A and B are shown apart, each in its own frame.
Chain A
Amino acid sequence: MSTYLRQLAAIVRKDLVLEFRSKDRLVAMGAFAVLAAVLFNFSLDNASVRPRDVLAGLVWMTLVFGGLLGVGRTFHLEAEDDAFRGLMTSPAPKDAVYLAKVVVNFVLVYGLSVLALGVFSLFLAVDVGANLPGTLLVLALGALGFVALSTLFAAVSTGTTMGETLLPVLVFPLLLPMVVFGAGATGRLIAGRPFAEVAGNVRVLGAFAVAAVAAGAVLFRFVVEE
């Protein structure tokens, strides 16, 4: 394994171990998904609104808001004992640090979106099995684009006096195109439309995710260097 990959893997492993030991973000994000599903289960009037028509919006709402809840705290793991400076003064390249954070956040946010899809479909009694692989692919690309941007901006907002409250203000406008294409594709797949109908949306989501990861990897060092 090259040194770069070893450094990246070490940061990923460390963050996942810390995450599963502290459970801070896991509990916050999981509770948000379940609570949102419970609330919408009671508030939706099935006579006037078909659950299948709103399911994609609810899943994407959970991905974005629940995701921000978790991603906003990305660098809190490093705040204790000034560990981030230890990371920054190590030979690990800044882009490896960023990519490792993206990998860990992707695991959390994609897990959240799959959980949201599961609990919403269960509570609202919607069968999502017909296009499940396609739906999972759309959510994966959406989660990747989302964490690529929000991880970069989490690094920006952590260094400000407003902290994580600034994150939604910074990141929402940039996420809008991805959410529009992602929610649209997810809605059509849940409605049972063929995958070919959303292939264009999927390509846009993929391009967005790749561009966001590349931009984040290049820009991260300008955000974190003193």
Chain B
Amino acid sequence: MALEARDLVREYGSVVAVDGIDLKLAPGEALTVFGPNGAGKSTLLGMLGGAMHPTRGTVSIGGVAIDPSVTSWRHRVGILSHRGFLYARLTAAENLRFYADLFGLDDPEARVAQGLGRVGLTDRARTEARHLSHGMKQRLSLARALLHDPEIVLLDEPYTGLDPSAAAVLRNVLGELKDGARTVVVVTHNLREGLAMATRVAIQLRGRFVWEGAANDLDAVAFERHYHETIEVAA
């Protein structure tokens, strides 16, 4: 398995944000997790990406359990958060160059140019991130997340606040991730975009997967109705 979680639990005091989630994803699989605010989706993604320690349970990449305190496996994972991890006063190129150095990439200048080109920001290379539009920042964040060519890609609400043209660029780049080699986990509210890139789908409520299925069997309209019914019943 490329990415595996076993009995993953994360508690904040008496609040259980993630409550015993198991998942197994092979290379080439893309899991989209839908759920309302507070379902624990971002916490799940945080643990899968090693940003936080689970209270219980393990996350394994390529069959090896990861330790969030260790950094040697981190080049295998790319994370796109709903926050960009960008420095406002660094230019687009400087932001990517910084991460290229952190990931120890060879030929960093070429990787930066390639990353900017991939998301259509070559002409904004020398623009400070604070002067970029929200859509451009999101594209730059995506370039940052994919700069080191990770085998596991974790995306947290990638389409939030994007205009149609920025969403189209993002859709194209995310479509390139369906190369059969990468494993992708997306958490989102956006049913249409989430379904478009998924091979598997799950609905998360109160920290648990309450429904899971294969995306190619799904009727999008029926799934949307089922999703809304599920969260209304839970509410």
Query: Chain A interface: which size bin?
Result: 20 to 34
Q: Distance in Å from the Cβ of B176 to the closest Cβ of chain A? A: 22
Contact of A89 among B49, B53, B84, B101 (CB under 8 A): B49
| A45 lies within 8 A of chain B by Cβ | no
Q: Distance in Å from the Cβ of A99 to the closest Cβ of chain B? A: 14
* A18-B89 in contact (CB<8A): yes
Q: Distance in Å from the Cβ of B96 to the closest Cβ of chain A? A: 12
* A90-B99 in contact (CB<8A): yes
* B79-A89 in contact (CB<8A): yes
* A81-B104 in contact (CB<8A): no
Q: Mark A1-34, 1 if CB is under 8 A from B, else 0.
A: 0010011011100100110011000000000000
* B69-A221 in contact (CB<8A): yes
Query: Chain B interface: which size bin?
Result: 20 to 34
A-B CB pair tally, cutoff 8 Å:
85
C-alpha spacing A118/B23, complex, angstroms: 63
| B1 lies within 8 A of chain A by Cβ | no
* B68-A22 in contact (CB<8A): no
Residues of A at under 8 Å CB distance from B?
A: 3, 6-7, 9-11, 14, 17-18, 21-22, 77, 80-83, 85-94, 221, 225-226
Residues of B at under 8 Å CB distance from A?
A: 46, 49-53, 68-69, 71-72, 74-75, 77, 79, 81, 83-90, 94, 98-99, 101-104, 129, 144
Nearest first, the 10 closest Cβ-Cβ pairs linking A and B are A86-B85, A10-B101, A82-B83, A226-B52, A90-B102, A3-B104, A91-B74, A21-B89, A91-B71, A81-B84
